[in-house]
Amino acid sequence: MSRSQRRAQNACQLLVATALAGTLVAGCGGADSTADPRSPTRAGNVALRQVERADIRLAARAPYIALLGRHARALCAAFTPAAVGDLAQRVSDRPSCEARVAEVFARSAPFEPKWQPAILDAVSAAGVVEHDGQATAIITYRRSGFHVVLHLMRERRLWRVSTMPRLTLVRGCFVRGVLTERCPAEARIMLFGLGTPTARLARDAPAP
């Protein structure tokens, strides 16, 4: 390994250490293959962009991770304040996003099945485009044939989703894992929406 490659690797490792916990950055085994090995500055910039895109992908998936774990604070923190200013106000009159989301979680939990972590395996983030503190990322729901484009903003060095989410309660419950309307009068289940799902083109669909 040349001296410039070692510098690029060290720079990449340093950036990874200061990124969000759990972020994995491709290419940290050495200098990026597209970088000029004679240019440590260019190699460092490539490493920086890799870390930035990894942070954006992680931020784009953050709402789904929080939703799966029913973490109200984490769900609200995954968005810009403007995006969640009115979240869940139709089902709760509590003053803060966290309090309203916590109420939705509490009211729906008894009537919904326990979600499995494997659900997150079907949600992937890719197609990151970033410019001047703003970014877009494509969230793909595998096996469904749909994806959504999320908008993100960098605030105080952290990326947050700026696309406005939707969270509400509807009548219903799950019996032995099957959704039904034959439920107690107080039964409610949670509906969460983010962006506008769009069907993938046939050429973009994964091979069977």
> Do the Cβ atoms of 196 and 148 come closer than 8 Å?
yes
Identify which of 63, 81, 66 has the alpha carbon closest to the alpha carbon of residue 153: 81
Task: Convert the pLDDT of each residue in 50-90 to its tens digit.
Answer: 889 999 999 999 999 999 999 999 999 999 999 999 999 99
Counting the structural domains of the chain, the total is: 1
Task: Convert the pLDDT of each residue in 98-120 to its tens digit.
Answer: 999 999 999 999 999 887 777 88
Q: Phi first, then psi: give them for residue 188, nearest 5 degrees.
A: -140, 145
Q: What is the pLDDT of residue 66?
A: 95
Report which of residues 195 and 17 the model is more confident about.
Answer: 195
Q: What is the pLDDT of residue 44?
A: 65
Identify which of 100, 77, 78, 74 has the alpha carbon closest to the alpha carbon of residue 87: 100
Q: What is the pLDDT of residue 8?
A: 40
Is the predicted pLDDT of residue 93 greater than 60, yes or no?
Answer: yes
How many residues would you count in the chain? 208
Tokens 């894992």 correspond to 177
Is the predicted pLDDT of residue 193 greater than 80, yes or no?
Answer: yes
Q: What is the mean pLDDT of residues 180-191?
A: 91
Domain hosting residue 120, numbered range = 3-204
pTM: 0.72
* CA trace torsion 54, 60, 66, 69 (10° rounding): -70
Tokens of 66: 């929080």
Is the predicted pLDDT of residue 48 greater than 90, yes or no?
Answer: no
Task: Convert the pLDDT of each residue in 135-176 to its tens digit.
Answer: 999 999 877 778 999 999 999 889 999 999 999 999 999 887
